[in-house]
Structure 1
Amino acid sequence: MKTILEVEHIATAYGHSQVLFGIDLQIRQGEVASLLGRNGAGKTTTLRSILGLTPAHKGHISFMGQRIEKMTTDKIARMGIALVPEGRQIFPNLTVKENLVAFAANRNQSKRPWSLKEIYQLFPRLAERAGNMGNQLSGGEQQMLAISRALMTNPHLLILDEATEGLSPLVREEIWACLRKLRDQGQTTLVIDKYVEKLIPLADQHSIMERGKIVWHGNSESLTQSPETWQKYVGV
């Protein structure tokens, strides 16, 4: 499998405060990867560096074989990275359907682009709410819409920041089921979430962060055999 994303020893700071210290990350085509760690460990800053929102001042980032660490965020997005941000950030004054079609694109020419019909099959609740405004949706419905909006860009890489944060157990299960379907379809995905037990059967590889560094990396089998490791760095 070819490498889709390669992060090499990046360091990132907010002003004079360094937050990331030599982060390395590699995701291959068709893989699901997780990024784990407590609040403040540096996970979201890592995503912001990949997307050019908070550029790294050291190291290299390559996407689809092209260096992107000096590119603008909009250009990186057009290359085929789609983010489902923490807090969802859907447009409250657009309907569900308008939120979806406004971002439709075909950024991965090797796959047939997502259609509204397929999105509604993935999340039937959105079909029922197609005419509702974004601000009329529950938190769970907003997260479904945020994921669907990202998929409508037909990305090479889908990134979810706090994939199930603040959702009810029932809705969380819907989101996990969706991610399993996407994995089975070959969608390359990077997931940030705290539910390690759900990520172990979903993801191919896992990286654990602490204080701006990767302190552990391995596959699901290794993580299963090291419960003390993720409980130490991720557990409440």
Structure 2
Amino acid sequence: MNTTPLLACEGLEAGYGASQVLFGIDFHIMPGEVVTLLGRNGMGKSTTIKTIIGALKPSRGEVRIAGESVRAKSPDAIARMGVAIVPEGRHCFPNLTVREHLLAFAAQRHATREAWNMERIYAVFPRLKERQHHMGNQLSGGEQQMLAIGRALSTNPRLLILDEATEGLAPVIREEIWRCLATLKAAGQTILVVDKYVHRLVGLADRHVILERGNAVWQGSSAELDADRRLWQMHLGV
């Protein structure tokens, strides 16, 4: 049995210039787990993700992927290690079709089980198949989010990161995204997700990390988080 975390953040400190944002973040994700980063706006969630993917270098501490430090690696090298992000704002290319998005990013480097090929992605998101010849700028916000997830899956990542997974989406589209994430979890995909809908995340994720002013102030299982609604009020404003 593999006891090495797929992702480990160890004493992570980071910030912007003289402004420190993270103060010794510690958490890990085991292969096949779904873990959330929770917290109010401005508490360090996006900075943590930027540090994991190499867009921001830590001032202290380490990010490790499958035991290997990524401190000296570029964002591109970290992506090649099997880390894929669905960014806040989706960032679909307006001049590429749905199909071209999925072809352009396709890779099999880390496909250790059934690969995420185009047909399998279309099976999870039938709407993308219906829209496969539409340009990125011809899609609705929900369709763009589906495409951003599909694009990330096409790289066959070891770790899939979703930043603000359902931000700005209509309720019916949010439900489609939750269904997708449940499907990915059942398929064994390791996921780190940031989102504010705690009541849905406790039914999806294995564990949760709550950030407060750049510190990991609580970590625990979905059952533990669900049982203590004071945490929701204290740290999440729910």
Settle same-fold status: TM greater than 0.5. Answer: yes
Contact 1:12 1:21 in 2 (8 A): yes
Equivalent residue for 1:27, pick from 23, 26, 29: 29
Show the counterpart of 1:179: 181
Deviation digits for residues 141-193 of structure 1 (CA, Å, limit 9, x no counterpart): 00000000000000000000000000000000000000000000100000000
Q: CA shift at 1:13, angstroms?
A: 1.4
Residues in 2 aligned to 1:69 and 1:216: alpha-carbon distance in whole angstroms: 25
Contact 1:50 1:69 in 2 (8 A): no
After TM superposition, the structure 1 = structure 2 runs for residues 109-124 of structure 1, keeping only pairs within 5 Å, are 109-124=111-126
Does 1:103 find its partner at 2:105?
Answer: yes
Q: CA shift at 1:115, angstroms?
A: 1.4
Residues in 2 aligned to 1:138 and 1:100: alpha-carbon distance in whole angstroms: 17
Secondary structure of 1:201 counterpart: coil
Corresponding letter in the other structure for 1:110 = T
After TM superposition, the structure 1 = structure 2 runs for residues 151-190 of structure 1, keeping only pairs within 5 Å, are 151-190=153-192
Residues in 1 aligned to 2:131 and 2:151: alpha-carbon distance in whole angstroms: 14
Q: CA shift at 1:70, angstroms?
A: 1.9
Contact 2:111 2:157 in 1 (8 A): no
Q: CA shift at 1:112, angstroms?
A: 2.9
**Which segments of 5 or more consecutive residues in structure 2 lack a partner in the other structure?**
none
Secondary structure of 1:223 counterpart: helix
Show the counterpart of 2:9: 7
Contact 1:208 1:230 in 2 (8 A): no
Show the counterpart of 1:131: 133
Show the counterpart of 1:145: 147
RMSD: 0.9
Contact 2:164 2:193 in 1 (8 A): yes
Residues in 2 aligned to 1:62 and 1:19: alpha-carbon distance in whole angstroms: 20
Percent of matched pairs sharing the same residue:
56
Secondary structure of 1:71 counterpart: coil
Q: CA shift at 1:231, angstroms?
A: 2.1
Residues in 2 aligned to 1:119 and 1:20: alpha-carbon distance in whole angstroms: 35
Secondary structure of 2:179 counterpart: helix
Show the counterpart of 2:44: 42
Residues in 2 aligned to 1:160 and 1:14: alpha-carbon distance in whole angstroms: 22
Residues in 1 aligned to 2:77 and 2:24: alpha-carbon distance in whole angstroms: 24
Does 1:88 find its partner at 2:90?
Answer: yes
Secondary structure of 1:24 counterpart: strand
Contact 1:12 1:55 in 2 (8 A): yes
Residues in 1 aligned to 2:13 and 2:117: alpha-carbon distance in whole angstroms: 39
Contact 1:41 1:209 in 2 (8 A): yes
Contact 1:88 1:142 in 2 (8 A): yes
Residues in 2 aligned to 1:140 and 1:223: alpha-carbon distance in whole angstroms: 28
Deviation digits for residues 92-141 of structure 1 (CA, Å, limit 9, x no counterpart): 11001001110000131422321111111100110110000000000000
Contact 1:107 1:156 in 2 (8 A): no
Residues in 2 aligned to 1:10 and 1:101: alpha-carbon distance in whole angstroms: 35
TM-score, with length taken from structure 1: 0.98
Q: CA shift at 1:22, angstroms?
A: 0.3
**Which segments of 5 or more consecutive residues in structure 1 lack a partner in the other structure?**
none
Deviation digits for residues 21-41 of structure 1 (CA, Å, limit 9, x no counterpart): 000110000000000011111
Corresponding letter in the other structure for 2:209 = S
Moved over 6 A (4+): none
